[in-house]
Structure 1
Amino acid sequence: MSIKHILLFILISIFVSNSIKADDIYNDSDSVIMKYTGKEIVIESFKQNNNLYVQPVAASLITSKEINDFNIVNIKEITSLAPNLYIPDYGSKMTSPAYIRGIGSHRNAPSVGLYVDGVPYFDRSSFDVNINDIDRIEILRGPQGTIYGRNTMGGIINIFTKSPFKYKGTNLNLTAGNYNNYQAGLSHYGNVHNKVGYAISGNYLHSGGYFKNITTNKKADPIDAFSTRGRLSWRIQPNLLMHLILAYEYSNQNGYPYRVFDKETTEMDDINYNEHSFYRRNMSTNGLNIEYVTDQFKIGSQSSFQFYDGKQGLDQDFMPQDLYYVSFYQRQQMYSQEFNIKSLNEDSRYSWQFGLFGFHQSYYQTNDTDNRSTKEHTIQSAHNPTDGFAAYHQSTIKDIFDPSLSLVLGLRYDWEQTKSTSNRTTPKGIEDPVEDKTSFSQITPKAALQYLFGKDGLAYFSVSKGYKTGGFNNTAERQEDRIFDPEYSWSYEVGSKSSLFNSLIFFDMSLFYIDWDKQQISQTKTGGKGFIIKNAGKSVSKGVELSAQINPLKNLNFQISYGYTSAKYKDYKDYNDLTGVATSYDNHYLPMVPRHTAALSANYTLGINKAWLDNIVLNAQYTGAGKIYWADNNDITQKYYNLLNGKISFVKKDFSIDLWAKNITNEGYISYYFLNNLAKKDYVQKGRPFTCGINMNLKF
């Protein structure tokens, strides 16, 4: 049976069988309230209309309560909580790739977009952000190019911080755990007559590290990190609102707990290299959002500025011998401005939104490779300024041949120009600077049919084009390798969102098929030192997703998430520039893409109602991912692995104590793999072992 027949069959089945009950959606002067399955969410979205629940998009929502229940402390821990979402935990904060439905990238610009309070994060070195005092995380799966544009081919992760119009008071959080893990957080939220709201928070994290380097006799992966965030919300007039958000993070970590791996015996050596390896990052992110709201439309302006600099020191050979050491420095300054206007009349047959977006990104990097055996340095530096502009529109037309049938049409035009100035100093001398520039443009359309069963159900079918911009290989040594072009995809999706038995069960499901062309693939440079990106592949990703929440009792709920992805190369041949011989990887699975992701959690509140204790809250969580292929030739894999986490909370009014544990069964698994071309050996990083600890939470 072809994929088109499967899509048609499931779409018909959904239309025939669905019965769902959605709760009321209503507006107030500030926001849209969304209710379903016992959740009440205040939506302050710059672009999305109303409620993800009633839109033709596969989406997952992680609330602040769930972040607390699951004891999530960094963004990598949301892996598998949304179907087909995978964020590997390896190395350092310098690289945090995200994969959705098999679409992702771990060496160049991300293929999944990240926004925090509407501010775009364009570089992979900025993705691993602090998520303390977060209101909610939204994961939108599939291309989101119409509304969000640049490099959102896999999907979007939207993070929203807490609003002082929703939260009040002072919160103190203290954590202590094994492996010398400590964390302290303090935040305060307040407002004056519901017109001026203010918030400030600070968080400090220390981890003593999990894995020991036997050469240095020290832990290979400790980290110290500090972050602070401020927010000012001002209701200037009843229909004019401003949000100013300021955030700063500093982290200093010894990353890279890599060890030699024998793929024949699957045995791992100890971590065993001599040089101090680290990554330090300063990052400041600032946003100003202004909204003017009437009964008929909303006009919004989002201004942002992000700055970060990072320095990496790396024992590149990862051996006890003193062979190669690399010092890498990077700095980014990114400005963006977006204007958006959208209709708000939910009773109208026609709704719309228009937007304009522009950005300037200035990126610097310097790479110093020290050949310790010859005492020679090779220094490469590059400056890449990029300017971009986009215009977009999306319309929703209701009552298409039937009062319950709607049509969504979207169109976006993106243009950007990027320049490269690179300098290279070798033992032979200083080479002439190389300057170049190129530009890219693209139109990305979207169309979706949506069918509502009165207030009781939703089914949809969508087609959208994905687009990821091209760029420069700053370390390329040949002119023909300097520029790589954009990559493209066409995504087809059918899905349903349903509620059964008077909201006892809420579930959503989707089936997708993605055609991915001119794929940007990381390949080893001639000579084996470093990597370059080439448009070398064509792939297909297809799969199914299911999420469910079950509320059998008022104080008991279950959440289930499952995703299956089959992502394969359809045409990929890696040509050796020295020999001219091509290695074919046709029909091989894409690396770093789990075939299965799964999550199951249960939360039970036991009412005590004593003078000394109100409730005991029990939370258990299971997540799993795999099978994962680590290399294009599919010769090294991580089988499906399971992680079991748990937490018990003792709650008395505004005070609680939590006892928690992660990876309770001490499951051993590989969290990252790479081939070290200098050592001619395979290296892996192990997943984190069993950890446990205690939290204290106080609100006053």
Structure 2
Amino acid sequence: MRQNKIITLILTLLTAGNALAAEADTLKVVDVEEVLVIAAPKENRKLRELPAAVTLLSQQDMQAAQVNSIKNLTGLVPNMFIPDYGSRLTSAVYIRGIGSRINTPSIGLYVNNIPYIDKSAFDFDYSDIERIDVLRGPQGTLYGRNAMGGLIKIHTRSPFSYQGTDFRIGAGTHNTYNASLTHYHRASERFAFSTSGFYDYEGGFFRNAALGNKKIDKTRATGGRFRGIYLPSEDWKVDLNVSYEYSDQGGYPYYYTGSVNPAAQSEELKPYIGTISNNRESNYNRNLMNTGLNLEYQAQRFTLSAVTGYQFLKDRMFIDQDFTAKDIYTLEQRQRIHTLSEEIVMKSKGNGSWQWTTGVFGFYQWLKTDAPVVFREDGMSMLQQMLGGVIPAKIEIPMGPGMGLNILPSLRLGSSNLLINGNFDTPLLNGALFHQSTFKDLFGVAGLSFTAGLRLDYEKIKMDYDSGTAMDYTVGIKGEMTRGGQVIREMEMMPETALTVHSRYQGSIDKDYLQLLPKFALQYDFKNNRGNVYATVSKGYRSGGYNIQMFSDLLQYSLQNDMKRQTKEEVLKAIENSPGAAYKDMISGKFPDAGENPDARSATEYRPEQTWSYEAGTHLNLFGNRLHADAAMFWLETRDQQISRFAGASGLGRETVNAGKSRSFGAELALAAALTTDFTLNASYGYTYATFKDYVTNARVNGELQEISYNGNYVPFVPKHTLTVGGQYIFRINPGHWLERIQLNAGYTGAGRIYWTEGNNISQAFYGTLNGRISFQKGRGQVDLWVRNALDKDYAAFYFESMGNGFMQKGRPIQAGVELRCRF
């Protein structure tokens, strides 16, 4: 009886009215830019008419490819790779050999024309997204900092062009559930709004062997969005966007692959090789709110827009930083970010021979980070060994023929934990002026155009830091009188004395810089909208900054130096009143001197990364728009490339370093074809050859620091090949039937080879995953059956090395589910 009720409910929803999404029944590839009218404050023409490599994804494309977050774009866009690892804290986006794991992004992100400055906000829910545009290559002239590899533009649906209520509910294996509800309402000819809410839950995919095989990557997220558009007059538009999202997840399901040096493999950790074995549970939660106000004025000859954005992010990460069954150390990081941005853009209207865009942009970001590190029981043992150099193991003093004095110092840490506090304020100010002009029908040649642009970008970064620790320890000295090498008397020269050492870094540093970001493009447009060919030269940059993660490493060095200094003073003071007083100077010379503590600026600062890009390509519309073809070749020269790695000296904290120079070149091809009205195919391929040209640094090899050259090695996290092949077929059933049509979608996406380290000693060979969906549609409803990674491909999504150990995160296994969509 219950089953019959469920079937009745589904059939009721399926027969609610018209098609959920109208599809063009013409024999051509649907032009996303014609179907979806998107307000673009900077571009004068459609994206496929510009001299740039672009990929456009409609909402139907995203449903077919099962794109529900930014990390699902890997492979769908040629030469784009976004590893799905860790948590939503960071989204490492790589395009054409350009990308970043930590700190500032290399790929820009805009949502409804609002910039998302920090990549901690990149990974959010896509339930009501209408369209995604991905521009590859530097977009610095119009979009400035951190768009040196490309730009992702995300758009939600306009309530003026779409009305009704969309409901979605789904479930899948691995205890996956989701639901969303979005209402679009046009209240009058002047005002329309949309409001939405969603809830997602994932039961987890990976188990932790050190915590009773408990699933450690469960995720839940909830939130909503409001968009209101008001048209005060025919010339003005006010567009307000507000979104909020809360997510709470476990994370960091890293498999322990063993010691990088097999000879140094820990016997204690051997049983955990090939498993996830964090002894402490890690998690990440985030509150994210974004608000944007777009004001647009349509004059007779130009469009003026003012875009104001505000973003608030508050999050907390707790992580077992050694990622093993040992209890070495943990990190807690709390961020609080407020970002206020403003952009005013004026651009020409019409299809005249001179098209131009000019504007001013600025933002200010308040970022406060609290990042305490705690060394646990096994970590204190490690520190005990490291601090063994604070005092000599034994001092032998000759006292006469056959006589001698042995000095035996001892040092013992006084607690089982060590807390290193870290509080950082890193405000950021950016301002820019930009202009770009396009001259059409150059030299009287119809279709020939030249584009030139320049941006002046100013940035000031500052870091107020306060990081310190205090450690209790005990020092004692015993003496042994010897005759003929035999101990004849023992004496206590310094009883065990409890001491406390304090180490602290506190201060403020800042820097600023200017960047000029030019762009030049030559383009020829074929007649009758058949496409274009182009050549583009442009510059982009990724901003510099500070490695706040390095302060725990700095404090370890300063702690050792401060202990050397304090211990020597206390020992010499005690010896003055002992039988060894006469040998005070000799004993003093045997104690190591304290060195200079590392400088915070030189240890934490990294420079901006810059790239020049040279690109030639084409956008073609062939066979009466039945085939869209996009192709490009590129060459990028990058200077001061920023590389993320664990600190070379200790292997603990992560840092960004400048890697000298690198070079990236390759090609891309994307095809979309309508073979029949109901049968469409798409394919894309990207090739990137990215190598270091000048990168010599210090690295730990078999436990020792050595100078090593990575020149000629592949840049990590850059797949050499990306591939997507997909298709869609629609079975149409007679009108009036209980089922109107069945839609089949299948896609194969692959990437590789991917090198994970600068040494190129660990890599993931080319791999691919197969996704599929079958959709049963009736009126305003549809039921989808879907599968991801249908072949259950086993592959590495991420790999890194820390403290001499290797760790890998696997890609998600096969997953299947059902989803119900309907519109009221």
TM range (shorter): over 0.9
Name the structure 1 match of 2:668.
545
Contact 1:223 1:251 in 2 (8 A): yes
Q: Secondary structure at the match of 2:774?
A: strand
Mean CA deviation greater in 139-148 or 480-489: 480-489
CA distance in 1, matches of 2:219, 2:740: 36
Q: Which moved more, 1:247-256 or 1:119-128?
A: 119-128
Correspondence for 1:446 among 519, 543, 549: 519
User: Does the Cα contact within 8 Å between 1:625 and 1:641 map onto a contact in 2?
Assistant: yes
Counterpart of 1:177, as a letter, is G
Correspondence for 2:137:
142
More helix by share: 2
Q: Residue type of the partner of 1:461?
A: A
Q: How far apart are 1:579 and its partner, in Å?
A: 7.7
Residue 322 to residue 166, structure 1, CA distance change in 2 (3 Å): same
8 Å CA contact retained: 2:764, 2:796: yes
Instruction: Report how many residues are paired.
Output: 663
1:295 and 1:345 in contact (8 A); partners too: no
SS in 1 for 2:143: coil
Q: Secondary structure at the residue paired with 2:430?
A: strand
| Distance in 2 (alpha carbons) for counterparts of 1:426 and 1:332 | 26
User: 1:603-651, CA deviations, whole angstroms, 9 ceiling, x for partnerless residues?
Assistant: 1111012431111011111100000000000000100001000000000
Residues 292 and 39 from structure 1, CA distance in 2 versus in 1: closer, same or farther, beyond 3 angstroms?
closer
Q: Offset at 1:431?
A: 2.0
Contact 2:465 2:505 in 1 (8 A): no
Map of 2:627 onto structure 1 = 505
More strand by share: 1
Paired with 1:264 and 1:452, the residues of 2 have a C-alpha distance of 58
CA distance in 1, matches of 2:30, 2:783: 29
Task: Give the equivalent residue in structure 1 for 2:364.
Answer: 360
Instruction: Give SS of 1:604's match.
Output: strand
- 2:454 corresponds to which residue? 411
Match of 1:230 among 226, 233, 236: 226
Alignment equivalent of 1:179, drawn from 174, 189, 214: 174
- Asked whether 1:462 is paired with 2:532, we answer no
> Do 2:32 and 2:57's aligned partners in 1 also have CA atoms closer than 8 Å?
no
In the other structure, the counterpart of 1:302 is 307
Give the aligned residue type for 2:91. S
1:219-618 equivalent positions in 2, closer than 5 A? 219-262=215-258, 269-346=274-351, 348-373=352-377, 374-401=416-443, 402-427=445-470, 428-429=501-502, 431-455=504-528, 456-474=530-548, 475-476=550-551, 477=554, 478-479=598-599, 480-525=602-647, 526-575=649-698, 581-609=706-734, 610-618=736-744
TM-score w.r.t. the length of structure 2 is 0.79
Name whichever of 574-583 and 614-623 sits farther off. Answer: 574-583
Q: Is the 8 A contact 2:664 2:689 kept in 1?
A: yes
1:35 Cα shift?
Answer: 6.8
Q: Secondary structure at the match of 1:433?
A: strand
Contact preservation (8 Å) 1:37, 1:503: no
1:639 lines up with 2:765 in the alignment: yes
Structure 2: distance between partners of 1:562 and 1:202: 36
CA RMSD of aligned residues (A): 1.8
CA contact (8 A) 2:32 2:56 kept: no
SS in 2 for 1:65: helix
d(CA) in 2 for partners of 1:46, 1:154? 21
Contact 1:37 1:506 in 2 (8 A): no
Which gives a bigger RCO, structure 1 or 2 (Cα 8 Å, sep 6+)?
A: 2
Contact 2:710–2:759 under 8 Å retained in 1: yes
Whole-Å Cα distance in 1 between the matches of residues 261 and 604 of structure 2?
A: 37
Tell me if structure 1 keeps the 8 A contact 2:716–2:758. Answer: yes
- Do the aligned partners of 1:440 and 1:469 also contact (CA within 8 Å) in 2? no
Deviation at 1:108, TM superposition (A): 1.7
| Displacement over 6 Å in runs of 4+ | 577-580
Tell me, in whole angstroms, the C-alpha distance in 2 between the residues paired with 1:295 and 1:550: 39
Q: Give the Cα separation in 2 of the matches to 1:66 and 1:237.
A: 35
**Distance in 2 between the 1:319 and 1:570 partners?**
35
Percent of pairs with identical residues = 38
Distance 1:607 1:523 in 2: 54
Match of residue 569 from structure 2: none
Residue 528 of structure 1 and its aligned partner are, at CA, apart by 2.0
Q: Name the SS of the counterpart of 1:554 in structure 2.
A: coil
* Consecutive unaligned residues in structure 1, runs of 5 or more: 1-33
CA deviation profile, 1:295-342 (whole Å, cap 9, x unmatched): 421000000000101101111122223221211111111000000000
8 Å CA contact retained: 1:481, 1:534: no
Q: 1:576 to 1:457 in 2, by over 3 A?
A: closer
**TM-superposed deviation, 1:673:** 0.5
1:336-362 per-residue CA deviation (whole Å, 9 max, x = no partner) reads: 00000000111x111111110010001
The answer on whether the counterparts of 1:599 and 1:622 sit within 8 Å (CA) in structure 2 is: yes
CA distances 1:374-427 after superposition (whole Å, capped 9, x unpaired): 311111121001111100000000121212210000100000111110011212
Are 1:59 and 2:132 counterparts? no
Following the alignment from structure 2 to structure 1, what is the Cα–Cα distance between the partners of residues 510 and 339? 19
Larger Rg: 2
- Residue aligning to 1:11: none
Alignment TM-score, normalising by the size of structure 1: 0.92
Change (3 A) 1:167 1:61: same
Given that 2:53 and 2:136 are in contact with CA atoms closer than 8 Å, whether structure 1 keeps it comes out as yes
CA distance in 2 between partners of 1:302 and 1:497 (Å): 30
* AA at the equivalent of 1:600: V
Gaps of 5+ in 2: 1-28, 263-271, 378-415, 471-500, 555-597
Aligned equivalents of 1:390, 1:353: Cα separation in 2? 14
Contact kept? 2:59, 2:131, Cα under 8 Å: yes
List per-residue Cα deviations over 1:176-216 (Å, max 9, x = no partner).
Answer: 00000000000000112332110000110000000111222
- State the alpha-carbon separation in 1 of the partners of residues 357 and 659 from structure 2: 37
